Structure 1
Amino acid sequence: MRDKEASMPDVTNFTYKLDGRVVATNDPIISGREVRALGGLDPASDYILIQIADRTSRSIGLEEAIDLREMPDCEFLSFAGDRAFSFTINERGWEWGSATISAADIYRYASIDEDLELILDSAGDTVIPADGAVTLGGQGVERIRSHEAKTVVIKVNGRSRTVPRRKHSYREIALLAYPDANFEKFKYTITYLKGVHGAEGDLVEGENIEVKNGMVFNVRRSDKS
């Protein structure tokens, strides 16, 4: 029994992610074609394969060898098509399998803090909306960079408001909900969610609060009498 066990091969499972799914293989070195095939992408030549690395990405050819032992957290994205698009994010080279890339994917795959603002250099330092996208494949290489935003978008009573990135007072938030606020006649009850570090609570008269993108305020007015 011991001899039989000793003669059995030492099989180790290697895994990678493809389009968010975990794929397993017993081969430590596989080709770009095999990555596609194991993920059900058939025929393999119909798909562009993009490898996500440390704040960068690159296209993987059909016969290119990938050593999974050197990349324990290997992640790939697939795109139907035959062209990869080149651009940069914070001066790091990127390739993508679609003619557009959403701001959400830039934040996610480039590991950019969502409180930072995305800028498109080639469009005269245009701000890329958080729910927007960048069109690739034009003349020249698109250059995207991130920096600290001067404004943030918050929600006050369900409505989006763009405000300066700084601390805001109780009265400033109340005025966003009720531009005609009368603090002598009415009482304003303010609660907030999704604050800095996930904070939530109440904002009262005399207090200031740091705001961030996606922060939610609910303001209710009642008669003091």
Structure 2
Amino acid sequence: MSEASDQIDVNVAAPAANEPNRNDHKRTTIIVNTRRFEWSSKQISYEEMYDLAYPNQPLGDGDTATVEYSHGPHGHTTGSLTPGHKVEIKDGMVFDVYRTTRS
């Protein structure tokens, strides 16, 4: 028996037909500093939220950002988001992002 006949080709790039596609989440409307955004993931991170509120304006030395939310999903209707963390979102969820520069 040749070595080639013992090999099995497996395609790992495509998900199986019965597996859900993680990118199939419907677009959700969130409100960030009074502006509407469409978001396609079930969650949003502190860093992603800051980038929506202040595009192309990275935090510098002495800068901080506070992210607060309301109208969130059941059990987490209000709260704050801290660096490195994510929150589950729902349609109509409101985010207030405040940037503070220490002088």
TM range, normalised to the smaller chain?
Answer: 0.5 to 0.7
Per-residue deviation, residues 104-140 of structure 1 (Å, max 9, x unmatched): xxxxxxxxxxxxxxxxxxxxxxxxxxxxxxxxxxxxx
Query: Does the alignment pair 1:191 with 2:56?
Result: no
Tell me the residue number matched to 2:43: 167
* Distance apart, 1:150 and its partner CA: 1.8
Give the TM-score taking structure 2 as reference length: 0.68
CA distance in 2, matches of 1:165, 1:211: 8
Per-residue deviation, residues 138-173 of structure 1 (Å, max 9, x unmatched): xxxxxxxxxx85210000000111011321110100
- Structure 1 gap ranges (5+): 1-147
- Greater share of helix residues, 1 or 2? 1
CA contact under 8 A between 2:44 and 2:88: conserved in structure 1? yes
Letter in 2 for 1:210: E
Tell me the residue number matched to 1:210: 88
CA distance in 1, matches of 2:98, 2:26: 28
CA distance in 2, matches of 1:193, 1:174: 16
- Greater share of strand residues, 1 or 2? 1
Query: Which SS does the other structure have where 1:209 is aligned?
Result: strand
Give the TM-score taking structure 1 as reference length: 0.33
Query: Which SS does the other structure have where 1:222 is aligned?
Result: strand
User: Paired residue for 1:181, among 45, 52, 57?
Assistant: 57
Q: How many residue pairs align between the two structures?
A: 78
CA contact under 8 A between 2:25 and 2:42: conserved in structure 1? no
Bigger RCO of structures 1 and 2 (CA < 8 A, at least 6 apart): 2
Per-residue deviation, residues 31-80 of structure 1 (Å, max 9, x unmatched): xxxxxxxxxxxxxxxxxxxxxxxxxxxxxxxxxxxxxxxxxxxxxxxxxx
Query: Which SS does the other structure have where 2:31 is aligned?
Result: strand
Query: Which SS does the other structure have where 1:196 is aligned?
Result: coil
CA distance in 1, matches of 2:45, 2:60: 17
Identity %: 36
Tell me the residue number matched to 2:34: 158
CA contact under 8 A between 2:31 and 2:92: conserved in structure 1? yes
* RMSD of equivalent CA atoms: 1.7
Per-residue deviation, residues 174-217 of structure 1 (Å, max 9, x unmatched): 11110023123321111000001161011111111111100000
CA distance in 2, matches of 1:171, 1:181: 12
| More moved, 150-159 vs 162-171 | 162-171
Query: Does the alignment pair 1:219 with 2:97?
Result: yes
